[in-house]
Chain A
Amino acid sequence: MHNLKLIIQREYKARVRNKTFIVMTFLSPLILVGMMLLVAYLTTLNNSEKHSIAINDLSGIFQNEFQDSEGMKFIDLSSIPLEDAKKIVLEKEYYGLLHIPEMNDNFELAKSVRFFAKESPSLDILQQMEQILTEKLNTRELIARGVDISKIESAETPVNIQIQNFEGIRTSKMSNYVKMFFGGAAGYLLMMFIIIYGNMVMRSVIEEKTNRIIEIIVSSVKPIHLMLGKILGTSLAGITQFAIWVVLGAILLFLAASFTGMDLISAPPHAQKGLEQMSSNETQQLIMDISNLPIGALIIAFLGYFIGGYFLYSAIYAAIGAAVDSETDTQQFMFPIILPLMLGIYVGFFTVIENPHGTVATIFSMIPLTSPIVMLMRIPFGVPWWELLISFLLLIITNFGVLWLAAKIYRVGILMYGKKPTYKELYKWLKY
């Protein structure tokens, strides 16, 4: 125990004092915030760009229908023939030309509208123009058939289904996205942490092997203690880094937000519009949704699954590090690590959001290699406690098994030099 403490201390110090660690810890939040600022800046740049579109409306129906909007400016070229209009558009380098021929039949007219452009136009612009045309033509056709438009308008009844669970707690339609966002973020974070810090454990094992210090150390401590100390020390370094990131990130976001006037953290313009349209009732509901999430359970589960998952994968990483002589030899063993992690993420994003309690999602939240990620994504949707218990127990049992196997490979591997091991070789080591 005394030695384990010493090893944890050394591993922690070695990680934290590493120059890359220091640079990464303090630079990544800066890079992250910088990226967000850049994206925000680019979006505003994109939005300020106005497309000039010429309208060649020979029918005369759509006069005053095309109003300049945020991204579009309309120029009326209805008084001249199409060929002349085309020349002007090319000359002045307009975005495009909308040609509406003169026709009596509304259906024929709808089919005959053309848009001329040098490059293929953006879908957004096309849709906006189609919407204007459709609405106008619909109304025209209805009037032509003798329908009273004012009656239709007054009869419009928008429906907004209120979702409620059996305990009577109201949720909004946004609620599923909120849940997915929190679950997904937790699962993704866990995967990143496992890969980054698992790799650190592996590199540190390889370093001890190539330094040839390993035999000196294992003559004083048991290999399993060295392995555990390494995994624990590295995880503490990881927790330190995340803690610093959270604090730094919060400070930087706050600073950035106060400089740019809150714009970038709230939302891009489109979503903002959506928020405005949403009744204040719905905004309140969204806040209610977030506060209704099992935040406490999510945090506890995150820590539990984080520790369980990280240990499971780190043990495998440590065994791989012990088996090889250099980092370039590790490639062949990476597949069994990356595969379940990726599977977890994909199952999480594709099946959990569709059916959080379906068979696939439930099974993958039980399998120990994927359960940390998938279960974290399911938790916001509400998971029965017994499912959590089974999944967690399975994870712990597997942890012991994998640690035991990894320790065996580790024990043999750290003293093996110059051999490029195969899976068959590793299997033999288990029996030494």
Chain B
Amino acid sequence: MANFLVAENICKNFGDFTALDDVSISIPKKSIFGLLGPNGAGKTTLIRIVNQITMPDSGQIYLDGKPLHPNDVGKIGYLPEERGLYKSMKVGEQALYLARLKGLSKAEAKERLEYWFKKLEITHWWDKKIQELSKGMAQKVQFVITVLHQPKLLIFDEPFSGFDPVNAEIIKNEILQLRDEGATILFSTHRMESVEELCEYMALIHEGNKLLDGKVADIKREYKSNTFEVGLTADDETALLKELTANFSVGKANFKSITKDLKLSIQIKPEESPNYLLLYLLSKARVNHFVEVIPSVNDIFIKTVTDNA
């Protein structure tokens, strides 16, 4: 699949501080890409470079196969983490202004705004000033402004902050729909569960360096430790535990079950097959529970960052 956005060997220094050190990422067309990293990792700098707000010291950004051009701002929709609107300007007027800055004509902007306001049921806000709206309401308006000019690339920095669960769900579904309609989405967040839920690809940067990137499923496969959670019922649990400990690396596990089990996490060697473990267990006890432990994005994030600290 072709890549829609490619960042190649991006370096950026602010004085003595290195914000990005030779970072490269590729975002496939029509995918949702999660950009992760602790605070101050360089995510926002990278996003600003893609938005041409900041210029890189070296490296090149390609959009749809061509080097990024100043006119490409119309192809990108950006919802920054630090976002706000003019407090004393009316919602409609403000949205029109920002849409026209992206290159839409006045009539076009108005038509699309009306469509989106209707879709999100916020038409009656048109003549209100931003200072009369709550934070979550203002965020909704900002979301509309971000997607209004139908950008091919959407960049969301912490898009769900400030939303209640109901509105977060609405926005999440809109994002998925935009992806289905052909937009490529770059997604920067601290909320690992939304990465888990939405992103197909991800990259992790830390202190200006890219630590890992790729398909979320591939990364998980790479990070799995061949550990299985098992729930067993046996007549003599102490003897079983002793025997298992002798053959495998065994730890205690904690998961929910309705039977009163011996709950264990058992790690096998990479060359061993899970079938071998299962057959072994079947011969010794009743197996109520047998699940491979798949690392969550959260686990991967914490592990990678602490390993590189």
What residues of chain A have their CB less than 8 Å away from a CB belonging to chain B?
Answer: 2-3, 6-7, 10, 14, 207-208, 211-213, 215-223, 415, 417, 428, 431-432
Contact = CB atoms under 8 A, between A and B. Distances in A.
A221 B84 contact: no
A220 B51 CA distance: 8
Contacts of A417: 82
B227 to A, nearest CB: 43
A14 B89 contact: yes
Contacts of A213: 83-86
B80 A215 contact: yes
Nearest to A417: B82
Given A6-B100, A428-B15, A432-B14, A216 B53 contact: no
Contacts of B305: none
Given A215-B53, A216-B142, A432-B14, A221 B85 contact: no
7 contacts: A10-B97, A217-B101, A218-B53, A219-B51, A219-B76, A415-B48, A415-B53
Contacts of A431: 15
B152 to A, nearest CB: 15
Contacts, number: 63
B241 to A, nearest CB: 55
B73 interface: yes
A208 B83 CA distance: 10
Contacts of A428: 15
B307 to A, nearest CB: 30
Residue of A14, A217, A219, A428 with highest tally of chain B CB at under 10 A = A219
Contacts of A221: 73, 101
A136 B21 CA distance: 98
A128 B97 CA distance: 71
B80 A6 contact: no
A10 to B, nearest CB: 6
Nearest to A5: B100
Nearest to B51: A219
Interface residues of B, number: 28
Contacts of B97: 6, 10
B228 interface: no
Contact of B80 (A2, A10, A14, A219): A219
Nearest to B89: A14
Contact of B78 (A211, A219, A223): A219
Interface in B59-102: 70, 73, 76, 78, 80, 82-89, 97-98, 100-102
A216 B145 contact: yes
Given A216-B98, A219-B78, A211 B87 contact: yes
B50 to A, nearest CB: 10
B85 A6 contact: no
A216 B86 contact: no
B15 A3 contact: no
A6 B101 contact: yes
Given A216-B78, A415-B48, 9 more contacts: A3-B101, A211-B84, A213-B84, A213-B86, A216-B83, A216-B98, A219-B51, A219-B76, A417-B82
B83 A212 contact: yes
Contacts of B103: 2
Contacts of B84: 211-213, 216
Contacts of B73: 219-221
A425 B146 CA distance: 33
A417 B83 CA distance: 13
A2 B74 CA distance: 13
Contacts of A7: 101
Contact of A217 (B14, B54, B82, B98): B98
A219 B83 CA distance: 12
Contacts of A211: 84-87
Interface string B13-49: 0110000000000000000000000000000000010
B100 to A, nearest CB: 6
Contacts of A219: 51-53, 73, 76, 78, 80
